[in-house]
Amino acid sequence: MESIIKINNAADISVIVLYFLVVLAVGLWAMYSTNRGTVGGFFLAGRSMVWWPIGASLFASNIGSGHFVGIAGTAAAGGIAIGGYEWNALIFVVILGWIFVPIYIKAGVVTMPEYLRKRFGGKRIQVYLSVLSLIIYVFTKISADIFSGAVFIQLAIGLNLYLAIIILLSITALYTITGGLAAVIYTDTLQTFIMVVGSFILMGFAFAEVGGYEAFMQKYMAAIPSNVSYGGAPVDPACYTPRGDAFHIFRDAGSGDLPWPGLVFGLSILAMWYWCTDQVIVQRCLSGKNMSHVKAGCIVCGYLKLLPMFIIVMPGMISRILYTDVVACVVPEVCQRYCGTAVGCTNIAYPKLVVELMPNGLRGLMLSVMLASLMSSLTSIFNSASTLFTMDIYTKIRTRPSEKELMLAGRAFMLLLIGISIAWVPVVQSAQSGQLFDYIQSVTSYLGPPIAAVFLLGIFCKRVNEQGAFWGLIIGLLAGLGRMISEFAYGTGSCVAPSNCPFIICGIHYLYFALILFGVSAIVILGVSFMTKPIPDVHLYRLCWALRHSKEERIDLDADEEQDRADEKDNESVNEENQQDAGCCRKAYNWFCGLDQQKGPKLSKEEEEALKKKLTDTSEVPLWRNVVNVNGIILLTVAVFCHAYFA
C-alpha cells in the first residue's frame, strides 16, 4: 500500500467518537422503550413502525459500504450503467408494497420460508430456503460488506484489518443482539440521514474540483493512465480507455459490459428476488403499523434510491479523473503497489476521494458514514439471519422450545455468524475485490432466480403445488451451482490476463444467465405441478393473488403443528406460575437480553383471535390509500423518465 493518510487531527477523531456515542444512545433508547421480550417484538418491532423509519431502513439495509466501494469502483471502470442497478429498484419497491406485502400480511407470517410452508405445505421447501438464504448472506452480503468497510478503514486510519473488523463487529453485535428489530430500524434511520448528507457534501466537493458537469463528461473520456506497458509490450488499449458508451445506461446487447436486455429483464429477476422475497427487506415492511404506512415507506425508499447515481456513481467516475494513475491502473505490478491488488484498483475510487478531498472534521464524518453503512447492513443481516435460523431451522431441531429458549437461540446464532464472517475475511481478501463486487452480483444471479420463480408463481398461479416448487428449486440450484463453481475454479481473470474458462460455461453474461435460469426453473415448476395433483382451495384462501379477498376460514397445511404449539403454550404458562423471583444480577441480565417481560394477563381465545385479526389486517383509510397510490404512480413515472434521460 502507498502512503496512508492517517486520520490524526482532533476534529476528525472527535467527530467519529461523538458519532458512535449518538448511535449507541439511539440504540439503547429504542431498546428501553420498545417491547423486545416476545418473538413478535424482537423480530418484528411489534408491528408498530410508521412510514418514515420503514423507508429509511429499507434504504439503509440495501446500501452498505459494499455499494460505496463496489458501485463507485465499477462506475470508475465502466461509466454510469451500474446506476441502472439502483434505478431498477424504483419499480420493484412499488411491486413490493402493493402486491407482495399485502399477501404476506394476510398470510400472517414472520419469515419468507414460513410463507412457503403455509402456501405449499411440507417442511423441505422451508428448510431449503432458510439454509440457502443463510449461505447467500454469508458469501455475498456479510463478506463483501466487511471487506469493503475494511478497505476504508485501512486507507483512512491504517489500522490492522482484523483489529478494525473486530472492533466494528463488536459494536454492531452489541446493539443488535440486545435490541432486536426496533433498535436496528431507528439506528438505520439516523445513519441514512448522515449517509445522504455526507455523500452530498462530497459530491459537491468532487464536482467543484472537476469544474462542473460538462467538464466532467469531457475529462472522464480523457482519463487514461500514464503507465500502459506490461512486460515490455503495450497493453491492449481496450483495457484502459474509458468506454465509448460510458454515459449511457442501455448498452449493446452483444458486446456491452451490461447489455440492455440483461439490464431490463435479467436484472428485474434479481431485483424481484432481492426486493420482494428477501427476508432483510420484507421484514422491514412487515413491521409497519398498517398497509398505508408500508406503502408510504416503500415510496420513501424509492425516492432515496434515485440518489446513488449522483452521490455514488458519478463521484466514482470523478475519482478516476482526479487520480487517474491510481484508480485506472492496468499494469499488475503498478496496481499491486498502489492498492495491494494485481487485478485493478477501481475499488479504492470512493475511499480515495473521501480521504483526499474532504476537509478535517468532514472527513471524520464521512468515515463514520462508511462505518455506519457497514454496520447498518450488518445489523439488518444479523437480525434477519437469526430470525431465519430460530423460526425455521431451530424449531425443527427442538420441537417444543419456549419463547425464552428461542430468544437465546437467536442471540447465540448471531455470535456464531459473527465468528464465521471474521473467519471468511481472508478468503475475501485474497479473492480480492477486483472481482468481488461482480461476484456479489453474479453469485446472486446464479442462486436467486429459482427463488424468485417460486414466489412469483406461488402467488399468481394457485395451480402450483409443493412437488413442482421443490423440484424447480432443486434443478435451478444445481444449474446455478454448476456455473458458479466452474467460474470460481477458473477465476474471472483481468483484462490483461483473461481467464481460460470455456465460452459455453462463462461466456454467457451473468444477467442473461439469470434470465435463462429463471425460465428453466419456471418451466420445471409448472411442468411438475401440472403432472401432480393440485392443492385444494380451502388451504389457499388469502395466500394467492386470486383468492386474496376471500373471507372463508383457511385450513393451513401445517394446521396440526400449529395446534401442538398452542397446547404447548398452555402447559408452559402453568409451569411458569410456579417459579420464584429472580435475584438482582439475574434481573439485570434478563433486562439486557429482553427476556424479563412482565407476563401480561393470559389472553382468552376471543382476545387472541382479535389480536390475530389485527396482525393480518390490510385495510386502509380511503383518503390515505389514494394519497399513496398517486405517489406510487408518480414514482413509476419518475423511474421511466430517469431511464429514458440517461439511456
Asked if residue 575 has pLDDT above 70, the reply is no
What b/e string do you get for 209-219 counting C-beta neighbours within 10 Å, with b at 16 or more? Answer: ebeeeeebeeb
Asked if residue 598 has pLDDT above 50, the reply is no
pLDDT at 41: 64
Give per-residue pLDDT as tens, 327-337: 888 887 888 77
Q: With CA atoms as reference, report the closest residue to 437 among 328, 530, 510.
A: 510
Report d(CA 321, CA 210) in Å as an integer: 8
The grid cell for 131 is 439454509
Check if the beta carbon of residue 323 is closer than 8 Å to that of residue 352: yes
Query: How much is the average pLDDT of 37-66?
Result: 75
Please, which pLDDT band fits residue 454 given cuts at 50, 70 and 90? Answer: very high
Asked if residue 247 has pLDDT above 80, the reply is yes
How far is residue 623 from each of residues 292, 301, 628, 632, measured CA to CA in Å? Answer: 10, 21, 9, 14
Helix (H, G, I), strand (E, B) or coil at 19: helix
pLDDT at 501: 77
Pure H helices in 491-558: 510-531
How far is residue 153 from each of residues 21, 91, 348, 521, measured CA to CA in Å? Answer: 19, 34, 11, 42
pLDDT at 523: 96
pLDDT at 603: 58
Check if the beta carbon of residue 340 is closer than 8 Å to that of residue 331: no
Look up the pTM and report it: 0.81
Report d(CA 308, CA 297) in Å as an integer: 18
pLDDT at 3: 45
- Helices (H), strands (E): how many in the chain? 30, 2
Residues 6 or more apart whose Cβ sits within 8 Å of residue 78: 243, 246, 257, 258
Asked if residue 565 has pLDDT above 70, the reply is no
Asked if residue 432 has pLDDT above 60, the reply is no
Check if the beta carbon of residue 351 is closer than 8 Å to that of residue 155: yes
Check if the beta carbon of residue 285 is closer than 8 Å to that of residue 51: no
pLDDT at 595: 58
pLDDT at 249: 85
Q: What percent of the chain has pLDDT over 90?
A: 18
The grid cell for 517 is 435460469
Report d(CA 148, CA 316) in Å as an integer: 15
End-to-end CA, the chain: 38
